[in-house]
Structure 1
Amino acid sequence: MPELSPGATGMPRSGIREVMDLAWSLPGPVLGLHVGEPSFAPPEHVLEAARRAYTEGHTHYVPNAGVPELRAALAEKVRAENGLDAPAARLVVTAGGAQALHVAFSLTVSAGDEVLVPDPGWPNFGMAVQLLGGVPVRYPLHASRSFRPDPAELDRLVTDRTKVIVVNSPSNPLGSVLPEADIRALVEFAGRHDLWLISDECYDALVYGDRPHTSPGIFDADGRVLSVFSFSKTYAMTGVRVGYLVAPEAAAAHAAKLQEAMIACVNAPAQAAALAALRGPRDAVHMMRDTYRRRRDAALAALDAQRLAYLVPHGAFYLWVNMSGRLGREPDVAGWALRLLRERGVAVAPGTAFGPAGEGWIRLSLAAETEDLLEGIKRMGEPI
């Protein structure tokens, strides 16, 4: 066989997948607290729009950047909800948030370029960078700072190869929402070092009221912020695969061109579903967000009863829990998580799946059913 590309062979596999593979292989039932998969169906008007699109024959090619009606509706959404003055020409529809990130990296990263990614952070950031021949450089988020980035530490990581910084708020896996002052400081940091800033805002609608979400793009004075959004989490549309990228107009034109080589276009019925999601009632979104908040509060009470430390989440649907004093015979949290799955039937994501700074921590998903979440926390407290 001819040699495979270094980007493909060198890209690590997600540590979450090891847990998923074991969970699927076990014969008994598993309490799945490891995956960010909403426990809800998409709103009915969204499903109906997709059905109607198929029935009416909307199954052909559409523009690379997305159907005009959806791009116009997205421009209205980001203006009203995110404070971004972005006309439709700056919006590109993508196959989920993950593909929007891939487009953003493809626009900004060349082989050998360094990209600052959060640690702990979503592992797919580094995976996508490596696939393009770039070098992910982790910037640590410390518990002592409530997992907020330290601008002075970021300054020390910058080299002449640094090209991009990735910012994720609300955060996967932390559930943290960065204060406005931190967001402004990160945009200023990017400007000071002439970097692109790629902002993952896929959980922008899922904040719990005690800390608002701030989009870095509102502080972008010179066209260096690329903002990534998704329908997956907000509308429980993970399998529908619709996201979108907000970019400076010149960059957006290139992003649309890249779509031809990557996917040609997002499938038309999925775009019809996304348009219906934006134009239809928001009751389901509010219901899901409020349910996650109630699950958060119930889970925090259960963790308090177990005397387990955690980071209070202000957004997304994750809970970051410190298990460093409960690992028992296991040398690391990844081994403990696999033992918990085999012996207690509870699947959690080990913190090291999100970077070395996650050692001793786990991520719990508030997207699981409430009963499963509370039972899983109970079993976590039992010795293994």
Structure 2
Amino acid sequence: MPRSGIRRVMDAAWASGRPFIGMHVGEPDFDPPAHVAAAGAQAYLDGDTHYVPNGGIPELTRALVEKLRTANGIEVAPEQVVVSAGGAQALHLALSMTLAAGEEVLVPDPGWPNYRMAVGLLQGVPVGYPLRPEQGFVPVVADLEALLTPRTRVLVVNSPSNPLGTVIPGPRLEELVRFAERHDLWLLSDECYDALTYGVAHVSPATFDRTGCVLSAFSFSKTYAMTGVRVGYLVCPASVAPVAAKLQEPMVACVNAPAQRAALAALTGPQERVHEMRGTYDARRRLALDLLEQAGIPHVVPHGAFYLWADVSARAGGDVESWAVRLLEQERVAVAPGTAFGAGGEGWVRLSLATSTDDIREGIAAIGRMA
């Protein structure tokens, strides 16, 4: 399993012992809502620390069914929702059920590097499909058709995208679902950022599923700033839901009960904090776009998540990772090199907007100064 390219920048930043502006990590710079933390703490005080059902506590799975219906347009029964140890484990669970050694998974390039890691850990073969600037950085069915082999089993789709911030429109998602149906593939949809869109609607691929081929992974981490609490959930077609719940037993047994109580409070309690965080990310997004325009740095206009994909190829030449290390050394600004997200990221960097307005101003100014 190759080491993440982001880690080279992080290691250099930590090893220097000097302060730096961090625009490299995709973690909310907020704390969870107070009522969420209180619910988790109360669970410990009440002794709610014992085993719970493999698939999740019933109160949470029922609440998730309602959320999926109202927010995502997905109609499922509680037993089709499996609570996981974060969105990453939901993705690993889905791949564990659908992939055998030597089989292939189509993953986005540029895309979150953990897709390739998870496939490799299961002895599968990740095959990158291109996301091109001229196509708006969204998947094109013709590209996927060209990559198919008899060993292809799964198509991974991520919208809103990490690292791109792009949101795949509904008609294109429907095309992708039909592609999966035609070729008897599973479509694994990573919807970690489903609550973070700006001016466009998030659409879940499962709303187009006619044959039970879509598996949908969600997370509480980004929406509620609960990254360390580790609660996510996998939504399964009825045909494989019992298998998903059964697989939790040897993997994690169950997600810890206090974390599930916190997630339940997040889902059913006041949502003002979520709206506040989304509004803050949007304001930072608009500021960063203005600053990039002023600096003459080409970029993708994001409509989801909290990232900006910026083109520094004129500055970096053909080695963006080394350029990112130089940016850290000379300007004390840490960014994620695009090649950390696949070969298609050469010449690009991902800027995380999960940081202060002042850091965004200073960080983009520094990028503009770098030759």
Q: Which bracket does the TM-score occupy, shorter chain normalised?
A: over 0.9
Paired letter, 2:288:
A
Deviates most, 307-316 or 250-259 = 250-259
Alignment counterpart, residue 369 of structure 1, candidates 334, 337, 356: 356
CA offsets 1:282-332 (integer angstroms, 9 cap, x no match): 1000000010000000001110111001000000000000001112xx641
- Which residue of 2 is the match for residue 337 of structure 1? 324
Report the 3-state secondary structure (helix = DSSP H, G, I; strand = E; otherwise coil) of the residue aligned with 2:240.
Answer: helix
The match for 2:309 is: 320
1:240 corresponds to which residue? Answer: 229
Matched residues in 1 for 2:128 and 2:207: separation?
Answer: 25
Separation (CA, whole Å) in 2 of partners of 1:18 and 1:76:
42
1:225 maps to 214
1:197-254 CA-partner distances (Å, limit 9, x unpaired) = 000000000001x211100000001100000000000000000000000001231211
Q: Which of 255, 261, 265 is matched with 1:276 structurally?
A: 265
Distance in 2 between the 1:371 and 1:61 partners? 45
Shift of 1:29: 0.5
| Deviations 1:90-125 (CA, angstroms, capped at 9, x unpaired) | 000000000000000001000010000000000000
Superposed CA deviations along residues 36-55 of structure 1, whole A, max 9, x for unmatched, are 11010000000000010010
**41, 47, 54: which one pairs with 1:57?**
47
2:57 alignment counterpart = 67
Letter of the structure 1 residue corresponding to residue 287 of structure 2:
A
TM-score by length of 2: 0.99
| SS of match in other structure, 1:319 | strand
Q: In the alignment, what sits opposite 1:24?
A: 14
Deviation (angstroms), 1:61: 0.8
**Gaps in structure 1 of 5+ consecutive residues:** 1-10
Q: How far apart, CA to CA, are the structure 1 residues paired with 2:365 and 2:38?
A: 40
Pairwise CA distance, 1:28 = 1.1
Contact conserved, 2:318 with 2:347, CA < 8 A, in 1? no
Q: Which runs of 4+ in 1 moved over 4 A?
A: none
For 1:64, the aligned partner's letter is: N
Residue aligning to 2:112: 122
Q: CA deviation at 1:383?
A: 2.8
1:76 corresponds to: 66
Distance 2:51 2:8 in 1: 37
1:297 is the counterpart of 2:286: yes
CA distance in 2 between partners of 1:13 and 1:257 (Å): 31
Q: Look up the match of 1:381.
A: 368
Aligned residue pairs total: 371
Q: State how far apart, in whole Å, the 2-side matches of 1:213 and 1:311 are.
A: 18
Distance 1:104 1:72 in 2: 21
For the residue of structure 1 that corresponds to 2:315, the secondary structure is: coil
Describe the superposition over 1:243-268 as per-residue Cα deviations: whole angstroms up to 9, x where unpaired.
Answer: 00000123121111111111111000
Cα offset, 1:19, TM superposition: 1.5
What is the match of residue 108 of structure 1? 98
Equivalent in 197, 200, 204 of residue 207 of structure 1: 197
SS for the counterpart of 1:363 is strand
Q: Percent identity, please.
A: 62
Matched-pair contact (CA < 8 Å) for 2:212–2:239? no
> 2:295 & 2:331 partners in 1: Cα distance?
16
Aligned residue among 309, 334, 342 for 1:347: 334
Residue 172 of structure 1 is matched in structure 2 by 162
Instruction: Tell me how far apart the structure 1 counterparts of residues 336 and 121 of structure 2 sit (CA, whole Å).
Output: 23
Q: 2:134 aligns to what SS in structure 1?
A: helix
Query: Of residues 324, 344, 347 in structure 2, which corresponds to 1:360?
Result: 347
Residue identity matched to 2:345: G
Out of 132, 139, 145, the residue aligned to residue 122 of structure 2 is 132
CA distance in 2, matches of 1:314, 1:336: 27
The answer to whether the Cα contact below 8 Å between 2:186 and 2:213 also exists between their aligned partners in 1 is: yes
Cα RMSD (Å) of the superposition?
A: 0.8
User: Which runs of 5 or more structure 2 residues have no equivalent in the other structure?
Assistant: none
Using the alignment, how far apart are the partners of 2:336 and 2:344 within structure 1? 14
**Corresponding residue for 1:36?**
26
AA matched with 1:311: V
**Quick one: distance in 2 between partners of 1:26 and 1:13?**
20
How does 1:84-103 map onto structure 2 within 5 Å?
Answer: 84-103=74-93
